[in-house]
Amino acid sequence: MLNTVRKTLEMPHHGEGHFFPIMHALHRATNMYFERHKFQAKSERHMLHHVDIAEFRNLLVEPVRTVYHNLYGGDGFVDKTPGKDGIVAIPHMQKVFPTMRVIYAQRRGLEVIRSAVLKFPQADFRTHCEIWRDCVMSWKESRERLRCAFFEVDQFDLHHYPELVTARLSTFLELSEEQSEKMLGFFRSDRPQSSGALNEVPRSIDELDWSAEQIDIFREVCGEAMEACGYSETASYYSDAKLAERSNT
C-alpha cells in the first residue's frame, strides 16, 4: 500500500516513519507530569498553577510539524508507521496536520500470525497474537476520535478485488483518471505482501500447521477481536454476519 500510494502520488517518503507516535508520548508525559504535581498546581503561589495544560499541549504541535517540513517540504508526504504505537497516535496527529488522510490496512488474524511466526521466529506465538489483537482493537478506538478523512481496506479485498479497491481509494485520494490507472497497475503488478504463497488462499484454522495449544492461545487472545472485525476461523475468511453485511453494500 505504501509503495503504491507514494508511486501514484509521487510524494516523498521513507520506508517507514516511526516518528509521529512521539505526539502521543508527549501528550501522555505531559498528562502524567500535571497529574503528579496537581497538589502544587492548586496554589496560586506556584507558577504551575498558571500553566494551562491544553495550551501547553498545543505548543508541542509546531516542533513536530517542523521536523516533517524540514525533511519533506510543505507539499505533502507519505508515511507508513505500523503497530499499535502508530495507531493510537493518529488522533494526536490531527492538530499537526489537520488535512491529513489516513489509510488503514488490515488482515485477518490467522494470516497475520501465520506470516509473523515465520518472519519473526524470535517472538513466541502468544506475543504475535497479542500484537495483532492490540493493533485491530486500537484502531477501533482511534477511529472514533478521528475528524480527518480515513479509508479502511482489508488485504483480502485488495488481493481479490483490486479494481473495486482502486476505485474507492481513487475517490478518497481525489486521483485523476491517469493516476487511478497507474494505481491499479501497481496493485496488479506489485502484489501486496502475502508471505509468498503462504496465505495466497484463505484457510480454516484447522488447516494451519498450528498445534492444539497454539489454536487455544489464538482463540483466547484473538477470539474477541476476530469477532469484532467480522472474521471467521473458516476458509470463508469473513463471518456469515459480515458476509451478509458486505453483500448489502
Contact present, 60 and 23 (Cβ < 8 Å): yes
pLDDT reported for residue 136: 98
Q: What is the set of domains in the chain, with CATH numbers?
A: 2-248 (3.40.50)
Nearest 5 degrees, angle CA 246-CA 189-CA 164? 20
* Measured distance CA(60)–CA(95) in Å, rounded: 10
Contact present, 151 and 169 (Cβ < 8 Å): yes
Scored b (16 or more CB within 10 A) or e, 52-86 reads: eeeeebeebbeebeeebeeebeeeebbbbbeebbb
pLDDT reported for residue 115: 94
Which cell is 103 given? Answer: 489509510
pLDDT along the chain (249 residues), means of 10: 93 94 96 94 94 95 97 95 96 96 97 95 96 98 97 94 96 97 90 56 94 98 98 97 89
Contact present, 21 and 91 (Cβ < 8 Å): no
pLDDT reported for residue 195: 47
- Name the DSSP letter for residue 91: G
Which pTM value belongs to this model? 0.90
Contact present, 22 and 64 (Cβ < 8 Å): yes
**Closest by Cα among 28, 26, 37, 87 to 59:** 26
Terminal alpha carbon distance of the chain: 23
